[in-house]
Each structure stands twice: as C-alpha cells, then as structure tokens.
Amino acid sequence: MPMLVSIDNGGTLTDACVIHGDRVFHAKTLTTPHDLTMCFVEVLKEASRKIYGEPCLEALLEQVDYIRYSTTQGTNAVVQRIGPRLGLIVRQGAGISRLIRNDDERELFEAMVGDRVGSLDLGLDDEAFEANITTVINHLMSQGANRIVVSLGGETLIDDESRVKRVTLLRYPRHLLGAVPILYSHQLSDDGDDARRTWSGLLNSFLHPAMERFLYNAENVLRDYRAKNPLLIFCNDGTSSRVAKTIALKTWGSGPRGGMEGAKAIAQHYDRKTIVTMDIGGTTTDIGMVDHARVREQRWGELESIAISFPLSEVESLGAGGSSVFRVVSGEIVVGPESVGSTPGPACFGRGGRQATITDAYLLMGIFDPDSYFGGNLRLDIERARAAVQENVAGPLGASVEEAVLMMERAYQEKIAHAMAPQVKHPANTTLLAFGGAGPIAACGVAQHLGIGEIIVPRLAAVFSAFGIGFSDIAHTYDAALPEISAKGLQETLERLAARAERDMFAEGFDLSECAIERALTFARDGVEAAHHLNGEIRLPEGLRPGDNPRVLVRATKPIPHFSLRPLDTAPASRATALRTRQALGTRVTPGRDSALVGHGRVDLPLFRLEDMSPGMYADGPAIIEEEYFTCRVPEGWRFAINDNLDIVLQHTRSRKK
C-alpha cells in the first residue's frame, strides 16, 4: 500500500496528513517563519511519532511514496513586501502607465520596482542595440536592481525579447558570479494583455529567490534521508510538480486551493451540488465555492487586485482568524485584520501576547479546556486571557468579561457571515463545509446568520487543506494564443504544446503515454469565457473570430494515488451518550436569520471526543465535540451525526433532511 504525505505550511501552523492504506494520521507544529525548513522537518517528525510511537523521520521517509507540499512563503513575501529589488525593461515609448491603474498597483509597483525602469530602442542596428542594452542593464544594477524583468510588448514580442536574450547571454553570461537573473515575459506567458503579462513577470521574479532557496533546502532534506521520490510542490491550479518544474507564481494561494480540492472531493462523494467553504486558521478565514463538483476559478486570476496571466481559484481571504486582534473603536468591536500570529500568539498562549483574540474569548467561555488544547501540547492561561479581554474589550465597552466574550463572538461570526453572504444565493440548497483549526467552533453561528441548515465538519478539519492537497496529481498545463484561425494553426499549436508536455513529463520521470491528455480551445465572446473541448475531433468552433481571443490549452496528467472516501449510510443510527461534561457559558440561539447567541450563565455541556465515536452516532445540541486539534461547538437547535467517514454532519433541527 502506498504511503502518502501532504504538508500545508501556513502562517501560524504547519499541518501534515499521512495516508497509509486505510489509516490516516495527522500532525501540527508551529510555523517557524525565520526558517521554514525547520517546521517542515518538525511536522514530519511529529507525523512519524503518531505512526511509530516515537519520532522516527528515517523510517517515515524510507516508506513514503509521495510528499506533496504547499507553502505560504510566496503569499507572505508579497503581503510583507519582502523580496528582491526588481528592474523593469520596456519598449521605448511604452512607459509604465498601463501598469499603474489603481492604488494597489501603484503601491506594489513602488515597493517592488520604484524608479528602476529602463527602455530599449528596438529600431537600432545590432552594435547600437547591444550598447543600448548594456547601458540600460548597468544603470538598473547601479540603482540596486538584483533581478530584471524584460517585457517589451507589441506584435513582435517574442522575436524582440529573444533578440535581447541573445545579447544578454553574450554580455552577462550566466556562469559569472555577478550575472543578474533576467526573466523574459514571453517565457512565462504569451498572454496578449501586456499589463497582465508584465505583472506576472514582476511577481514571479519577486517571489522566486525565497521560494527557490527554501524549497531546494526542503528537497535536500529528503535527499539526505534517501526518500524514494522528489518533493512535489502543490500549485494554485490544483496540480503538483517537482520543484525544478514549478514557477514561483504558482505557489501563491496554493494552501487555500488545497482546501478547495478537498471540498471538491467531498462534494463529489456526498453528492452536494453547492458547497461554500469556510477555512478559519490563525490569521485569516478563506472563503470559496464548489459548484457541481467544480472549484470556482477566475480565468485571469487576481493577486491583491492585480490581474495576472494565470487562473486562480476564487478564494477570498478575510482578516479574521483565531489569532486576529479584537479592539474597540467608537464603542464598537472591530475584528482584525491585524493578527498576533503564532508568536507571541493570543494572550492565553502565555508567550507575551497582550491583545485579545477569539481564542482567549472561547477559553473564557469554557469552550476550550486549557489542558487539552492543541492535543495537550499547549497549555492555556485563563488569567492572561481574562486580563487581555478586560483591558482591550470589556473595559472600553463598560461590560463584564462574560458579556464581552459573547459580544466578541457575535462580532466575529457576523464579520465572517457578512463576507460569505454574497456567495450564498440559495441557503436552503447550500452546504457549509467548515474546516481549519478554528472553523468548526464557529460553524453553527455563521451558518445561522446565513440561513444555512447543513454543515459538514470533516474529521480532518484541522488539517483539511493538507488533506485536500493529497487529491492532486502530477500535471502540467500549457496555454498559448492561437496564432491564426485555421485548422493548420490549431494543429501546429497543439503539437507544439504536446512537445513541451513530453519534455516536462520526462523531467518528472514519466513518459507522455502514461499521462491523460486534455485539450481545449478557449475564447471570450461578448464578455463570456467559453471552452471548446478537443479530446475527440480536432476542429475549430463555428464563427470563431480573432477578436474572441482564442487560446489553446493542453493539460498532461499523471495520476498518482489518492485517499479513498468510504461509502455512506452503511452504519446503523444510534444515539450517542456523553461520558463527560464541560462547564461553559451556556447560550441559546434566538430565532431568525439575524440570530444571536445569548448567554444565560454557566451550564454543564455534554462533551464528546470524536476519536471515541463511531459511524451512525448522533446527538442534539447544546454540546461540544473535541478532536485533538479542533473543537466543534453544537448550539441548541442543532443536531450532529457521525457518518461513515467519521465526518461530523450538523443540521438545524428545523431544516433537518429526512
């Protein structure tokens, strides 16, 4: 049986999911932002401890068949504006106004490029042209540029940039220590939109050094332990590939895409037509949609409101998570977007944090047990939490601490529900999939605000993005403009892309004959994107025009093993009996779409441990369900049931499906 490992490196925590036959193990460690290789190794060690009873990295890496990995390193680099100083070379007369059309583009361009912009006169003859290039590059380097992007635009883009490349290879050979790395925009994408293509080149160059350094370090760790196969990088298009075959820009948002791949698998297996996802971690809530088992995507993705040349899943990141800072402004509670992260963390972590967070609030409400939190590996400090809430929320509001934590919870849930509301068109036909370490605890409250009556909390909710990464295959996608609207032009483009696929799959260790090949022609007509599949007869759609921006897509996929979900509804129903209780601030749900959780003193709530429960068990709220790394809160008015995959299915009692 294959052993599969998936790792999701988040801003606060790093998660691992190990699948060995029908057994699943999962682990978490704190992210070490100063050295991501450290938390990569530590989470593998923790996973090995779960499997073998003690840390044994050697044994794990000897057995593992595939390791698929996703990291927030690229996302954090752009958010924090930490990266190389870029230089940009454009065609003379082009300028940069086309790149700066809004405040986001202006601010990011200033942070990455600033005034390090040079232009080339493409009308010069060879000797003068070489001198022009040398002068421009030397000037950019003297201004501090340590990476350069060449984006010339125009109908002769490829020929012009290739001409520049020939000169730079001669004048700045790559074997020299001082050679400046240069990216030519057409090699990344042949997108005809000059702004999108240029921004893609700039962002990829900005992300590249840190990603390259860390990912090759991680791969070297595996090589040192003689792992069977090279490290696979999970990308934001739902595919995986070797480090050497992955561009840095494809790692942006790859963690949230892992959650969406898991949601797609749940939607297919459970036959849910519409799923809205809520992935709450330490820093953000990531919101996405799966319609008819398809992840919603933007054909031209947006990164911080900046359009790029590659697709991105439609995942909205909201600054509200378990470590988000709560404060009072003009008598109102404000949630985030600032976060205390893992260091110093919420006040209750006892690491010096003094800001109030929802983690502190749930501890004070009695929902969390200070001794069992995070698998018992992180003891929580109630008094520090109380002091933080009193100083930052209760005091400014003139409320008691117990009143304040209820108001914090309401503000937290309302913020998340408000961000999700535009996605939920038909609540009665929508299922909420709640995951992330902090997703299950808020799920019922958020669903109640939205009018959603069904929630699925996966048993691997705390590591669900890592779990979802495990549904990816090794694949490469190629996208090229159709040079001429003719059968000949289409056939030649398909052959050119197939040749690239053959080379890349050979580098992955596979022959193209082992891969599934998908081919399509995409075009935009009247502002609507359409796809004409070419897996059968190779022909052009009728009425295709140059203005439709026709593009040819080829995807080569080498399937690798995935986790298999169990068939449903095979276990008999039985009412669960709680052997323990936990004293917590009791709540009731007020009726209506704009409901609220209202406190009414401390009560003993039934406490269930997920690992002690069997398929078919059910019970009514109020109750608390604990797993090693997450807590699911079941308020009054909700019923939970454990299905055959040990996922928790929650239904509002008034909308429960028969």
CATH of the domain at 58: 3.30.420.40
Do 200 and 224 fall within a single domain? no
**394, 412, 430 — which closes off a domain?**
412
Q: Tokens standing for 191?
A: 């997108």
488 and 546 housed in the same domain: yes
**For 257-268, what is the mean pLDDT?**
95
Asked whether residue 257 is assigned to any structural domain, the reply reads no
Amino acid (one-letter) located at 66? Y
Can you tell me the distance from the alpha carbon of 469 to that of 147, in angstroms, rounded to the nearest whole number? Answer: 32
Same domain, 128 and 230: no
Beta strand 285-291 pairing with 294-295:
antiparallel
Q: Are residues 169 and 126 in the same domain?
A: yes
Span 282-294, average pLDDT? 90
Task: With a cut of 50, say whether residue 595 has pLDDT above it.
Answer: no
The pLDDT tens digits of the residues spanning 296-344 come to 988 889 888 899 999 999 888 888 988 899 999 999 999 988 888 777 8
Give me the pLDDT at residue 586, please: 67
Q: For residue 371, which phi and psi values (nearest 5 degrees)?
A: -95, -25
DSSP, residue by residue, 245-293 = G--GGGGTTHHHHHHHHHHHHHHHHHT-SEEEEEEE-SS-EEEEEEETT
- Percentage of the residues of the chain whose pLDDT score is greater than 70: 96
Checking if the pLDDT of 470 tops 90, the result is: yes
Q: How far is Cα 460 from Cα 479, in angstroms, rounded to an integer?
A: 35
Same structural domain, 87 and 233: no
What are phi and psi for residue 53, nearest 5 degrees? Answer: 90, -10
What average pLDDT score do residues 5-34 get?
87
- The answer to whether residues 72 and 214 touch, using CB atoms and an 8 Å cutoff, is no
Domain boundary among 385, 412, 439: 412
User: What range does the domain containing 158 cover?
Assistant: 81-208
Please state the φ and ψ torsions of residue 103, each to the nearest 5 degrees: -65, -35
Calculate the CA dihedral of residues 450, 452, 455, 461 and round it to 10 degrees.
Answer: -20
Residues 50 and 120 in one domain: no
Q: Evaluate whether 372 touches 360 at the Cβ level (below 8 Å).
A: no
Q: What is the token pair recorded at 549? A: 């921006």
Angle, in degrees to the nearest 10, between helices 382-389 and 358-365: 120
Q: 31: pLDDT confidence band, cut at 50, 70 and 90?
A: confident
- Cis (ω within 30 of 0) for the bond into 344? yes
pLDDT above 90: residue 502: yes
pLDDT number for residue 435 = 96
* pLDDT tens per residue, range 381-390: 999 999 999 9
Instruction: Report yes or no on 19 lying in a domain.
Output: yes
Are 450 and 421 spatial neighbours (Cβ–Cβ below 8 Å)?
A: yes
Q: Which of 149, 181, 208 is the last residue of a domain?
A: 208
Using alpha carbons, select from 333, 309, 317 the residue that is nearest to residue 283.
Answer: 317
For the purposes of burial, counting CB atoms within 10 Å of the CB of 30, is it exposed (0-12), middle (13-18) or buried (19 or more)? buried
The pLDDT score that the predictor gives to residue 23 is 86
Task: State the amino acid at position 86 in one-letter form.
Answer: L
> pLDDT at residue 150 above 70?
yes
Q: How far apart are CA 455 and CA 381, in angstroms?
A: 31
**With 90 as the cut, is the pLDDT of residue 547 above it?**
no
Determine whether 113 is exposed, middle or buried from the number of CB atoms within 10 Å of its CB (0-12, 13-18, 19+).
Answer: buried
In a shared domain, residues 100 and 145: yes
pLDDT of 588 > 60? The answer is no
Report the CATH number that the domain containing residue 180 is assigned in CATH. 3.40.50
How distant, in Å, are the alpha carbons of 92, 416, 455 from that of 633? 62, 16, 12
- What's the CA gap between 511 and 513, in Å, rounded? 5
Is residue 30 within 8 A of residue 342, CB to CB? The reply is yes
Residue 594 has pLDDT above 60, yes or no: no
Residue 65 within a domain: yes
In a domain, 283, yes or no: no
Domain co-membership, 511 together with 395: no
Among 196, 202, 187, 106, which residue's Cα sits nearest to residue 148? 202
Q: Considering only 262-276, 463-477, 513-527, which range has the smallest mean pLDDT?
A: 513-527
Q: First-to-last CA distance in the chain?
A: 38
Q: Which two tokens stand for residue 68?
A: 């698929």
In the block, which residue shows the tokens 């921004």?
A: 199
The per-residue pLDDT of the chain, averaged, comes to: 90
Please report which helix (H) or strand (E) contains residue 329, including its range: strand 324-329
Establish if 340 belongs to a structural domain: yes
- Confidence class for position 658, pLDDT limits 50, 70, 90: very low
**Cβ atoms 427, 655 nearer than 8 A:** no
Q: What is the largest CA-CA distance in the chain?
A: 85
The two beta strands, 332-339 and 324-329, are antiparallel
pLDDT, tens digit, 9 for 90 and up, residues 43-91: 999 999 999 999 999 999 999 999 999 987 777 778 778 889 999 999 9
Query: Taking residues 138-151, what's their average pLDDT?
Result: 95
Q: Please state the separation of Cα 632 from the chain's center in Å.
A: 22
Distance CA 207, CA 211 (A): 6
- For residue 657, is pLDDT > 60? no
d(CA 503, CA 516): 15
In SS3 terms, 231-258 reads as CEEECCCCCEEEHHHCCHHHHCCHHHHH
Identify whether the C-beta of residue 379 lies closer than 8 Å to the C-beta of residue 338.
no
186 and 236 share one domain: no
Spatial CA neighbour of 621 closest among 631, 632, 635: 635
Average pLDDT on 203-220 reads 90
| Res. 367: pLDDT tops 60 | yes
**Two structure tokens written together for 240:** 């995986």
- 210-225 mean pLDDT: 89
Residues 501 and 481 in one domain: yes
d(CA 446, CA 434): 10
Which of the two residues, 185 and 339, has the higher pLDDT score?
Answer: 185
Determine the distance from the C-alpha atom of residue 337 to the mean position of all C-alpha atoms in its chain, rounded to a whole number.
Answer: 18
Instruction: Answer whether residue 623 is part of any domain.
Output: no
pLDDT value of position 203 = 96
Q: CB 278: neighbour CB atoms within 10 A?
A: 28
Each as own residue / partner, the long-range contacts of residues 422-430 (CB below 8 Å, 24 or more positions apart, any chain) are 423/276, 423/287, 423/289, 424/276, 424/450, 424/451, 424/452, 426/274, 427/451, 427/452, 427/453, 428/453, 428/655, 429/273, 429/274, 430/274, 430/275, 430/276, 430/454
pTM, 2 dp:
0.88
The residues pairing with 597 across neighbouring beta strands, listed in sequence order, are 589
Same domain, 19 and 106: no
Report the C-alpha gap between 296 and 289 in whole angstroms: 6
Q: Are 255 and 465 in contact (CB under 8 A)?
A: yes
Average pLDDT over residues 362-380: 85
Give the sign of the dihedral formed by CA 161, CA 167, CA 173, CA 177: negative
| 590 in a structural domain | no
Cβ neighbors of 216 (< 8 A, separation 6 or more) are 243
Least confident residue range of 114-123, 327-336, 595-604, 648-657: 595-604
Q: How is residue 292 written in tokens?
A: 């008819």
Q: Are 504 and 556 in contact (CB under 8 A)?
A: yes
pLDDT for 212 equals 86
Q: Are strands 316-318 and 274-280 parallel, antiparallel or unpaired?
A: unpaired
| 457 three-state secondary structure | strand
Q: How many CB atoms lie within 10 A of CB 613?
A: 19
Domain check: are 204 and 224 in the same one?
no
**pLDDT given for residue 656 in this prediction:** 52
**pLDDT band at 517; cut points 50, 70, 90:** very high
Among 275-284, 340-349, 506-515, where is mean pLDDT lowest? 340-349
Whether pLDDT at 524 is above 90 = no
Is residue 447, in this structure, part of any structural domain at all? no
Structural domain total, the chain: 4
